[in-house]
Structure 1
Amino acid sequence: MMTRETMYQAIIDKDVKFEGVFFTAVKSTGIFCRPSCTARKPKIENVEFLETANEALKKGYRPCKVCNPLEKLGETPTFIKRIIEELNENPSLRFRESDLISRGIQPVTIRRWFLKNHGITFNAYQRMFRINSAFKKIQKGEAVTIAAFEAGYESLSGFNDLFKNVFGAPPSQSRDKNVIDLTRIETQLGTMIACAVDQGICLLEFTGRKMLETELKSLAKILKAKIIPGNNRHFSMLTQQLNEYFEGSRRQFTIPLFMPGTKFQQKVWHALQQLPFGEIRSYKQQAIDIGSPDAIRAVANANGMNRIAILIPCHRVIGENGAMTGYGGGIWRKQWLLQHEKKS
């Protein structure tokens, strides 16, 4: 369990790993903050640590104007959400600087946001969205020329050059290529990256996971696919079910999942999905449950290779002695998830 000292050190360090895990209420000012707030830190004797923002509000604390604890950390600004929604509805749209300025948006602002949160500029993001849309049309049998112009490309040669640069082959030779769609989802515990293919969600991880880049590269290699920002029919259901889970109104996920891995890994992951909501198991119990009582270490390794956090609840597995063992999303997130499920 977290101690006052642990939580106080987290706010001194402005540690985002504790985001959503607790809130800091300052008795002398009547203000409450998120753990990563950059405002001046109070003395520990003046601090009250609370589990939720609602608890802080009920006790009369006011939200900090510096860190805005009532908002999700890293939440996509409303004006960017609208633009992404428009691109989802019509990938052929092309937002130029003049279009942004007419909406009261500074081009440098949106460029910096996309560089920080997607690692590419807004213009590059739009290009990837269009090329993703065109690729899917070609895969469904549509002529290359029609797919290119429907995706908003004015030059067929320019489209062919970009397509070959992304997929390593011209559109006419891309039948054996695949795409993994990628998006960001903000949750109470921080931003998550989601990936999906036609079969279902194939990755869901917190952005701070150290193995995230390795997981993305591995997934792309296994599926022989390019990971590109784009819309996917599973993303809206995923967002809805995650919101319901964090609100405490959902105990079971029904969204389709796609879990490429070895037979043993898949056996472990399927068993994880059967763990009852609000209950925990040890790695030893999990090994016994799948009929491999001597494979405790292999089970633990398979849990660690799980790419779909929360939906495949590896957070429900703890050490034999009851210790909170490692969790890719952070040990405090694991503790929060278990407490959340116990109370829901």
Structure 2
Amino acid sequence: MMMFDLPDSQTLYAALLARDAAYDGRAYVGVSSTGIFCRLTCPARKPKYENCQFFDTPGACIEAGFRACKRCHPLSAAAGNDPMVQSLLAALDQRPAYRWAEGDIVALGHDPSTVRRAFKRQFGITFLEMARQRRLREGFTALGAGEPVIAAQIDAGFDSPSAFRAAFARLVGIAPGAFRKDAQLLVDWIDTPLGAMLAVACQHRLHLLEFADRKALPREVAKLQKRQPGGLGFGRPAVTDQAAEELARYFSGQTARFETPLAYHGTAFETEVWRALRDIPVGQTRSYGALARDLGRAGASRAVARANGANQIAVMIPCHRVLGADGSLTGYGGGLWRKQRLIEIERSLAAAATEPAQRAKA
């Protein structure tokens, strides 16, 4: 089942409150205040609606940065009666910080290709991807809580500080030991249904917002540091909280209105393009050529495309609303599958906004 086959978030929240067994195995809830995801029948105290994100698979919950609940065991429930999957989940619970490899799967008496297919079928991600996400998230959480690098390394299950620094550097381009306690720019993690995002903000503005698996993220962080010297630190200012709340409302289909104050780190032309992107009505798209004409710069479609690609604030500056001249999806740093999902979300929002007017005419 795909995410868009799920009922709206209000319906799912009502099912959560009622512990409706009809949704067991069909929908899961991630709770942003705890970082945990559950079955809708979980006996734990129910979270507030604004802290809930709903997903169609456990794998989507894990990719968004949530950990499995220890009361309702959503992974075990999704695994059904498959003893191989159940045994591997139990092994992962026993050694969450271990660096799992295919050799370990073989040592447990399983065929790696069979395990890969089974986990993909049940959860949408492989066993090794599940283990890797868990390790990295635990390390990031430890750093965000103010733990030293060595503690974060241990929490994330890396064999040495150098290995942890290398893994973290691949994610953001900066070794964790280089982060500063007195920095003006603070980094934190925002969970979304399309995957974890990294946010960089000061006390007044959001400077960067990108999906954590974007390959260009280290380059974007380096570019930001050149424009905004003073280093980076870990933390969550009010601006990041505001961004997280607005993103939650966006992904739950409530609104595409973003009021988080943004910092535009670009040339005058790039800033002009980024503002024009925000002026494209929700549910609509433009070609690069059409956007150039809107700016009074007909013939500058390539320059517009470059400015589009230089955008460092995903979703809120909606570069996903720009398509090729033939209407096809074109390059998107977060992945074309995410671009398609974002366009679908906004078309649904636009359609919902026009329904009252259509009913009034009828």
TM-score by length of 1: 0.57
- Residue 267 of structure 2 is aligned to residue 255 of structure 1: no
Contact 1:201 1:258 in 2 (8 A): yes
94, 99, 122: which one pairs with 2:142?
Answer: 122
1:146-185 equivalences under 5 Å are 178-185=183-190
Report the equivalent of 1:51.
Answer: 4
Paired residue total: 230
Contact 1:182 1:230 in 2 (8 A): yes
Report the equivalent of 2:340.
Answer: 335
Structure having the higher helix fraction is 2
Mapped to 1, the partners of 2:238 and 2:68 lie a distance apart of 22
206, 209, 225: which one pairs with 1:204?
Answer: 209
Mapped to 2, the partners of 1:183 and 1:114 lie a distance apart of 17
272, 282, 290: which one pairs with 2:287?
Answer: 282
SS in structure 2 at match of 1:256: coil
Contact 2:190 2:244 in 1 (8 A): yes
231, 242, 248: which one pairs with 1:243?
Answer: 248
Which residues of structure 1 form unaligned runs of 5+?
1-21, 24-49, 80-104, 130-163, 172-176
Structure 1 residue 298 displacement after superposition: 0.7
Q: 1:292 to 1:178 in 2, by over 3 A?
A: farther
Which one has more relative contact order, counting CA pairs under 8 Å at least 6 apart? 1
SS in structure 2 at match of 1:126: coil
Structure 1 residue 296 displacement after superposition: 0.8
- Residue 268 of structure 2 is aligned to residue 305 of structure 1: no
Mapped to 2, the partners of 1:197 and 1:260 lie a distance apart of 14
Structure 1 residue 115 displacement after superposition: 5.7
Compute the RMSD of aligned alpha carbons.
Answer: 3.8
Q: Return 109-118 or 332-341, whichever deviates more.
A: 109-118
Q: Return 56-65 or 329-338, whichever deviates more.
A: 56-65
Structure 1 residue 122 displacement after superposition: 2.8
SS in structure 1 at match of 2:306: helix
Structure showing greater Rg:
1
Contact 1:324 1:331 in 2 (8 A): yes
Letter in 1 for 2:58: N
- Residue 63 of structure 2 is aligned to residue 73 of structure 1: yes
Q: Give CA-to-partner distance per residue, 1:92-144, whole Å, 9 cap, x none.
A: xxxxxxxxxxxxx9997599978613866836861579xxxxxxxxxxxxxxx
SS in structure 1 at match of 2:198: strand
Mapped to 2, the partners of 1:118 and 1:261 lie a distance apart of 34
Mapped to 2, the partners of 1:118 and 1:61 lie a distance apart of 27
Mapped to 1, the partners of 2:178 and 2:327 lie a distance apart of 51
Report the equivalent of 1:62.
Answer: 25
Report the equivalent of 1:234.
Answer: 239
SS in structure 2 at match of 1:71: helix
Mapped to 2, the partners of 1:216 and 1:302 lie a distance apart of 17
Q: Give CA-to-partner distance per residue, 1:50-87, whole Å, 9 cap, x none.
A: 7334499999783499x6257353424389xxxxxxxx
Contact 1:114 1:122 in 2 (8 A): no
Letter in 1 for 2:187: L
Contact 1:72 1:187 in 2 (8 A): no
Q: Give CA-to-partner distance per residue, 1:265-314, whole Å, 9 cap, x none.
A: 11111111111111111100111111211211010000000000110001
Letter in 1 for 2:25: R
- Residue 297 of structure 2 is aligned to residue 292 of structure 1: yes
1:256-271 equivalences under 5 Å are 256-271=261-276
How high is the sequence identity, in percent, across the aligned residues?
33
Which residues of structure 2 form unaligned runs of 5+?
13-19, 28-38, 40-56, 70-92, 100-131, 150-176, 350-362
SS in structure 1 at match of 2:208: strand
Contact 1:315 1:327 in 2 (8 A): yes
Q: 1:121 to 1:244 in 2, by over 3 A?
A: closer
SS in structure 2 at match of 1:193: strand
Mapped to 1, the partners of 2:212 and 2:263 lie a distance apart of 20
Contact 2:144 2:235 in 1 (8 A): no
